[in-house]
Amino acid sequence: MASLVPGDDLSSAELIRQFQFTRILNHDTRSKSINILGTIGSTPAILIAEKTAFTAHDEAAMAKLPTVDSGISSVRLLERNDIYRWYMATLVQDVETSPGAKLSLIWPATQTHIDKYAKQRRRVIRETPELYRNVLVPYIDKMRGDRIQWVYNILSHKSEADRIVYENPDPREGFILLPDLKWDRTTMDSIYLVAIVHRRDIASIRDLNKSQIPWLKSIYSELIQATTQAYPAISATQLRIYVHYLPSYYHFHVHVTNVEHDAGEGAAVGKAIMLSDLIARLEEMSDQFYGFANSTFTFLLGENSDLWTNGYARALDIV
């Protein structure tokens, strides 16, 4: 068979079948996920597999779960103690109604992707305004442009237009809201959306100042309205609306999840900041154009990151 290259027009299923295992990058027993490095053709690829959650909102489907044939295909007793019994079981699965796993494929994968999805130790960084200007700003300049072309493709409707939940098309005030690829788009308890703003002058929260408070408040209220209208089973008080610092890509975006969803590291201290809290901090600032570029933030950073190796480790003189 001819060697595959990234430009080949292959179905998603065919790409998965062509994946050749190289090694395990990382795995998480809490989230039941695994990151695998491999190749498709001769090009590096990363396959991320995550066990799906039960569709607890679908009572009819859950009623079938304990039944043999409809829900449980085989079962084996592990242990029994008085009234308690533990089993291993395999479940009846269907890719449309009860899939066993959600897959994400990155192809072609760069060394940056490989480092990101590999197991790594974390460091606590207390980023002063000076560190931000001297270390992060040059890094952001490298990570924008072609590196986030996929974001611009979404904003211009070249990609993922069929997944858009809501859009405010205003080039300065607007955003596109769509499901994050971490969500299976079925389980309401794990709902996960992301809002990507149309304007391109905001790379991260560092570019925010008091003059943008009305815009941020508008985004906040619009996100609540759009999400609750699109998914009536979710109320405003069930939504966690937050941003990441550091973000995974440098174009301002906001995360929207169900509070019941365990987003793991993505919603943890040292990563997630509630949008309402950011607005409150800006309101407390005295100068109209004073902003987060002059603030100090503390966050976690993986040692595999080039930002750590060639940035903060050198700046902080850490070997």
What are the C-alpha distances in Å from 149 to residues 59, 146, 189? 41, 5, 31
CB of 248 closer than 8 Å to CB of 210: no
Q: Tell me the two tokens of residue 9.
A: 């027009």
Region label for 25, one of left (φ > 0), alpha (ψ between -120 and 50) or beta (otherwise): alpha
Q: Which residues are catalytic?
A: 253
* Residues ≥6 apart with Cβ < 8 Å to 72: 65, 66, 89, 90, 91, 92
Count Cα atoms within 13 angstroms, Cβ side, for 218: 12
Q: Phi/psi at 212 (nearest 5 deg)?
A: -100, 5
Q: Give 270's DSSP letter.
A: T
Q: Tell me the two tokens of residue 155.
A: 């904003």
Number of separate helices (H) and strands (E) present in the chain: 10, 14
Residue 117 CB: number of other CB atoms within 10 A? 20
